[in-house]
Amino acid sequence: MLTFVLWHEIAHIALGHLDWLQERNGLGIIEELGSSVMPDTEYTRSQTLEGDADRQASIWTAAVIDLVTQNNRLLYYPALPDLFYDIGYIYGAMFGFLDSVDSRKPDLKRYHPTADIRLGIAIAFVADYLKRFHGDAASILQQEVVSGGIDALFHTYHQEKQPYNPLRTAEFMYSNGRRLDELGIRRLQHRVVTTDEGSFRILGT
């Protein structure tokens, strides 16, 4: 969970979100806890940025967990589908827990998308990672991610149980892409490169 949160915050930087906020209001800060009251349009923009960060963070998180577990004899998963079921479960449980910040608000006054939409975003973009790096096994592994995520949404305590509806995610992602274009955020996106030492740097646009 902490791995995803870390990559989510890095994604806000790398995708140009903080630069865009700095341009708009002179304050490059994203409020993750949602304690301030905002105009309705600002809630929509907040969900736009949060959904975009989820997209990138889901890919980075899956890649890191995959790499670390499969190259560490103490963490190694003999059956790769089990690993990706657990990755899906982690996403579902995490989004359910994090949903407590916004769960009592109507959808239009939330800082973040609902837990089921955030899970759908993660599932969609982990699929891209699997196709690139797991070839013929991608379809089976993707099914495990979906199963794990849905199980977590329904079986994790202390969260509102929400049905998983892929159409809601598709509608959100389509609208989010359009809003990102309209807001001009992509022009501020940074490049992330890996150094020879194995660390990474975020470069300018």
pTM for the whole thing? 0.84
> What is the longest distance spanned by two Cα atoms in the chain?
51
For tokens 């199963």, name the residue.
147
DSSP-assigned beta bridge partners for residue 193: 201
Q: Are 91 and 4 in contact (CB under 8 A)?
A: yes
Given a cut of 70, is residue 164 above it in pLDDT?
Answer: yes
Length, in residues, of the chain: 205
Query: Looking at residues 85-91, what average pLDDT do you find?
Result: 96
- The count of domains in the chain is 1
Query: Looking at residues 146-160, what average pLDDT do you find?
Result: 80
% residues pLDDT > 70 (the chain): 80
For tokens 């990672």, name the residue.
129
Question: Which pLDDT score is estimated for 22?
Answer: 86
CA proximity to 29, closest of 51, 40, 13? 13
Question: Which pLDDT score is estimated for 32?
Answer: 58
Query: Looking at residues 101-123, what average pLDDT do you find?
Result: 84
For tokens 């993750």, name the residue.
32
Answer with the residue of higher pLDDT: 54 or 36.
Answer: 54
pLDDT in tens, 64-77: 999 999 999 999 99
Structural domain harbouring 40: 2-203
3-state secondary structure the chain: CHHHHHHHHHHHHHCCHHHHHHHHHCCCCCCCCCCCCCCHHHHHHHHHHHHHHHHHHHHHHHHHHHHHHHCCCCCCCCCHHHHHHHHHHHHHHHHHHHHHHCCCCCHHHCCCCCHHHHHHHHHHHHHHHHHHHCHHHHHHHHHHHHHHHHHHHHHCCCCCCCCCCHHHHHHHHHHHHHHHHHHCCHHHCCEEEECCCCCEEEECC
Answer with the residue of higher pLDDT: 159 or 50.
Answer: 50
- What is the crossing angle of helices 138-155 and 80-98, to 10°? 40
Alpha-carbon span 161 to 37, nearest angstrom: 26
CA proximity to 158, closest of 205, 100, 203, 101? 100
Question: Which pLDDT score is estimated for 67?
Answer: 92
Query: Looking at residues 169-181, what average pLDDT do you find?
Result: 92
Answer with the residue of higher pLDDT: 10 or 110.
Answer: 10
Alpha-carbon span 8 to 56, nearest angstrom: 7
